[in-house]
């Protein structure tokens, strides 16, 4: 069957939380997972399904100023290194453009070197912003414009 990327459902969200350690290891990021994102911003909350379950997901939304914000992106432990993260991010970018995005944004901790390398490899600029997440809590903030070519070629549905 392969992997099929499609909008997430509430059931998918609950499955992701059930399998949380498979995506995040020892880091407990369940508090960052908000069902309201899936319910309110369905077109930009995507899962990568395979016969054996959800291999990865991206939950995000488009802001009123045209920024496609990827809030969470993760791949299951057995899907890492397969290019699935890139596929999910590309699908998110297409979905965000269909919702009016002109630029993409993501945020991670400055200690998350894997995420920083991933976003740089996708062509994002990174800026370390002091106090971004409160006093003494610097964050790596990623920005990337969506090319005019991508905006005109994003009419295909996410499947």
State how far the alpha carbon of 65 is from the alpha carbons of 24, 103, 117, 125, 127, in Å. 31, 9, 27, 19, 20
pLDDT at 150 (0 to 100): 53
Locate 140 and state its tokens.
């790596």
Q: What is the CATH number of the domain that holds 109?
A: 3.40.630.30
Residue 8 lies in a domain: yes
Residue 17 lies in a domain: yes
Number of domains in the chain: 1
User: Structural domain of residue 94, as residue ranges?
Assistant: 4-152
Residue 159 lies in a domain: no
Strand ranges for the chain from DSSP E: 4-7, 45-50, 53-62, 67-75, 103-109, 125-129, 139-145
pLDDT tens, residue order, the chain (159 aa)? 599 999 999 999 999 999 999 999 999 999 999 999 999 999 999 999 999 999 999 999 999 999 999 999 999 999 999 999 999 999 999 999 999 999 999 999 999 999 999 999 999 999 999 999 999 999 999 999 996 545 444 443 343
Residue 158 lies in a domain: no
In this structure, are residues 22 and 37 in contact, taking their beta carbons and an 8 Å threshold? Answer: no
Using CA atoms in the order 120, 2, 157, 107, what is the torsion angle rounded to 10 degrees?
Answer: -30
pLDDT at 107 (0 to 100): 96
* Percentage above 90 pLDDT, the chain: 90
Residue 91 lies in a domain: yes
pLDDT at 157 (0 to 100): 37
């Amino acid at each position: 069957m392969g992997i099929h990327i499609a909008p997430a459902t509430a059931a998918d969200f609950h499955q992701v939380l059930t399998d949380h350690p498979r995506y995040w290891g020892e880091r407990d990021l369940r508090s960052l997972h908000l069902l309201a994102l899936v319910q309110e911003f369905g077109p930009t909350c995507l899962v990568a399904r395979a016969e054996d379950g959800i291999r990865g997901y991206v939950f995000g939304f488009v802001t009123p100023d045209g920024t496609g914000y990827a809030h969470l992106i993760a791949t299951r432990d057995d899907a890492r290194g397969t290019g699935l993260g890139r596929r999910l991010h590309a699908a998110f970018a297409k979905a965000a453009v269909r919702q009016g995005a002109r630029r993409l944004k993501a945020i991670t901790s400055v200690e998350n070197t894997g995420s920083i390398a991933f976003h740089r490899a996708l062509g994002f600029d990174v800026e370390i912003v002091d106090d971004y997440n409160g006093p003494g809590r610097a964050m790596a903030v990623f920005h990337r414009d969506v090319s005019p070519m991508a905006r005109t070629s994003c009419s295909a549905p996410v499947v």
